[in-house]
A and B are shown apart, each in its own frame.
Chain A
């Protein structure tokens, strides 16, 4: 192994340590089971490793999400079904709310599962937009780059996704009905 490859390997190892947690959370929230999410995560980082020297100086995290997002789409398309329903009984979440600041561990689990269930009510693009914006912390421009759409489209997806989330979690109609970022 050449010194360059060793250097790249070390950098990818660190990149893996830094981002595997958040990427796994992203994949789980995208509706994958834990085993599928770990498969996609592993493949995504292998792609990053293969392409590291090309992308190391740009935005490897964005590439990571892009690869993972494509893998999720491929996986779901191949299986020909929607994402799993992690809650089992959707009606049980009718009265759920977004209070995830609970200290109780059990309550946190319920909150997390409720949120995952609610996310499955969104379309694929809406889910991606919401997760990239509000979970991944990407700006509109970065999310647009990852999704391959314009920033306005991301805004639309995110706003509709949030509204659906709000409704799915028992919040009723939105107060304003305005899209995120629109005047």
Chain B
């Protein structure tokens, strides 16, 4: 028989049947009382019961009428015993005196015990041992049933399972020993209380003690998993909250100024927007009056103006390499020539670029002054431009001519096509590129339009940053909400379930205790399935414990602490979400990166002016 079967049989046998019916119990009790009355009144019934008792070796107790006879028989038995003892010990026979009304058993017994304690007189011959077969022998069963229990206390209890049987049931030795202790304590207590045998369940206080280690394990499981799984997530949620707070505080303080290199001024966002609006009005008004000096150069021209000096430098260096035989990539071959070439090229590029830019700026300012009616300043500007232009032209023509001459000299026998290509390349490098650089700056709108476009670009960047911050904040708050949902719907229930499973291990030990007690009428308590639940929308309710009476429950304070912390984070999240919703819209509603941007708007402005 394997170990499972014994346990199942035990539990199967413990299933209560008709004997558990309380009404029938009362009926049987009434019948028993009626039978007692009949027993007292009916000698035949008494004889029948006595015969049943005799069949199991029991002598019916003496009734009140038979008490004297029983006492007499008792004394007779003692007399016989004393007689035998005296004969064995060879004590002088002392017949009772005439005044001795009855046989004093206690005195005689004390006398004999005293005789046995004192040295006995040496016998004349050793007493002959009776052969074993001559001793009166009663049936073993009768001897066992009637023998007084001298080795065991009254009501002795032994575990229903011996250690070897428990081992067959795969009950660990230590668990068995511990369960025996609990079972013994329960039984002792029930014996004192006089509880019915089939109700010797472990008491509540014992249940509390036997379940306590499992409850402690459950608490440790709960606390450790909360530290490992919940705290990290809560910290991350708190970090996200702090990040969003920083973002929103940054938006609220508006600490970043809007600056423009044209005027060198710093504006707040609102002031910059207002400034752009003023410039727009000015530009549109001038356009309406036919003043087109605010129009910016094309983007291509602006970029060419920016990159022309670098392209020019590349062209010069190429010329120096191929036509002057200067090893630019191998300077160690001719340090002197290499240094000279680099100085000349860099000097030419820097000087020519500087002259061209000064000429262009002078032209741009003079043109604006001219349009605004500042003739004197315009005249000065144009003269300054001419002076710079002359210097630039001389430099450009000289460099270009030198390159053509040197190129043709180097390629003396070159064809006309090659010569034309050399002339074209030198012209582009020496003349066209400086010219483009000049035009890109000279025709690039006015100071107002450049400042306006610069402010608009910065405001665009600020708007982008603003929208990105709000988007990041909303994303972070969504992450916090997701963390909260995960904690409530998955992490916390999982942890509680694990703690419940840890606590539920007590049922095995509890069953072992009940098994060792044995003969219990009630079924073992079913495993509790109730654990921590979400009572309301957010509140946690329930317990982690067992259905064992008197057993404690797991302290859920660590869980409630995390729940409170999560609630606080949720409250902060809601507050930040409200702050985001309540944020004022950015004053820079849409991008106006470059002007002109709307011909219809210009037309409308012209119409208004007219």
Contacts and interface: CB of A to CB of B under 8 A. Distances in A.
Given A24-B18, A67-B52, A70-B55, A29 B13 contact: yes
B58 interface: yes
A59 interface: yes
B19 interface: yes
A172 to B, nearest CB: 11
Nearest to B61: A53
B36 A49 contact: yes
Given A25-B19, A51-B53, A174 B148 contact: no
Interface stretch (B25-33, B259-267, B497-505, B528-536): B25-33
Interface in A100-135: 100-101, 103, 108, 111-112, 115, 130-131, 133-135
B1 A163 contact: yes
Interface in B52-71: 52-53, 55-56, 58-61, 64
Nearest to A174: B1
A82 interface: no
B39 A139 contact: no
A64 B555 CA distance: 48
Interface string A17-51: 11111101100110000100010011101110111
B145 interface: yes
A113 B442 CA distance: 112
A14 B58 contact: no
A138 B162 CA distance: 11
Contacts of A180: 1, 6, 165, 168
A52 B61 contact: yes
Contacts of A98: 5, 8-9, 11-12
B20 A21 contact: yes
Interface string A44-88: 011101111111011101010011001100100000000000000
B173 interface: no
A38 B56 CA distance: 19
B9 to A, nearest CB: 6
B148 A131 contact: no
Given A54-B58, A131-B13, A21 B198 contact: yes
B155 interface: yes
A112 B21 CA distance: 15
B151 to A, nearest CB: 10
B198 A55 contact: no
Interface residues of A, number: 78
A162 B64 contact: no
A95 interface: no
Contacts of A59: 149, 154-156
A148 B17 contact: no
B139 to A, nearest CB: 8
Contact of B49 (A34, A50, A163): A50
A111 B8 CA distance: 11
Contact of A55 (B12, B36, B46, B58): B58
A17 B195 CA distance: 10
Contacts of A137: 160, 197, 517-520
Contacts of B159: 139
Contacts, number: 198
A21 B25 contact: yes
Contacts of A55: 58
B137 to A, nearest CB: 15
A16 B31 CA distance: 12
Interface in B307-358: none
Interface in B160-199: 160, 162, 164-165, 168, 194-198
A99 B523 CA distance: 13
A24 B15 contact: no
A93 interface: no
B165 A16 contact: no
Contacts of B139: 148
B590 interface: no
A71 B23 CA distance: 25
Contacts of A178: 1
A93 to B, nearest CB: 13
Contact of B11 (A47, A51, A100, A176): A100
A70 to B, nearest CB: 5
Contact of B198 (A22, A45, A49): A22
B9 A134 contact: yes
Interface string A132-146: 011111111110110
A53 B32 CA distance: 18
Interface string B119-158: 0000000000000000000011100110011000011101
Interface of B: 1-2, 5-6, 8-20, 25, 28-29, 31-32, 35-36, 39, 46, 49-50, 52-53, 55-56, 58-61, 64, 139-141, 144-145, 148-149, 154-156, 158-160, 162, 164-165, 168, 194-198, 517-521, 523-524, 526
8 contacts: A5-B64, A16-B32, A50-B53, A50-B60, A59-B149, A131-B13, A181-B162, A181-B165
Interface of A: 2, 5, 9, 14, 16-22, 24-25, 28-29, 34, 38, 41-43, 45-47, 49-55, 57-59, 61, 63, 66-67, 70-71, 74, 98-101, 103, 108, 111-112, 115, 130-131, 133-142, 144-145, 148, 159, 162-163, 165-166, 171, 174-176, 178-181, 183
Given A9-B36, A175-B1, 14 more contacts: A18-B194, A19-B196, A19-B197, A20-B25, A50-B49, A58-B149, A67-B53, A98-B12, A100-B14, A108-B15, A162-B6, A165-B5, A174-B5, A181-B162
Q: Which 5 A-B pairs give the minimum distances between C-beta atoms?
A: A137-B518, A137-B519, A148-B141, A18-B196, A139-B158
